[in-house]
Amino acid sequence: MCTFRTFITGTVTDCSRALAIASLAAAAYAAPYVPKDDTAVLERLPVRPGDPVARELRQLRAELTANRPPRRWTFS
C-alpha cells in the first residue's frame, strides 16, 4: 500500500534523478574552449623545484623565444 508520504518521497527522488541526468546530458554537448590567441597558456603542469628535465625544457624554450625571427606572413 502506497502512502502519501512514500509517494511524495518517490516523486522528489525521481525528479532529482531526472534533473541530474538532464544536466549531465547538457554538459556532454558543451563546446570545448578554443583560445582566440595562439600564445594563450591553457594549462601549467606542476614541476618539482629540482627537476632537471623541467630546467632543461625551460632553458630550451627561452632559447627558442630569443632566437625566433619575427613572423612575416606571405600569401601566394
Alpha carbon distance 10, 4 (integer Å): 10
Q: How confident is the model at residue 47 (pLDDT cuts 50, 70, 90)?
A: confident
Across the range 48-55, mean pLDDT stands at 88
**Assigned domain for 48 exists:** no
**Assigned domain for 7 exists:** yes
Alpha carbon distance 57, 60 (integer Å): 5
**Assigned domain for 46 exists:** no
In the chain, how many domains are there?
A: 1
Q: Containing domain of residue 8, as a range?
A: 1-28
Q: How confident is the model at residue 8 (pLDDT cuts 50, 70, 90)?
A: low
Instruction: Output 51 or 74, whichever has higher pLDDT.
Output: 51
For 51, the grid coordinates are 627537476
pTM tops 0.75, yes or no: no
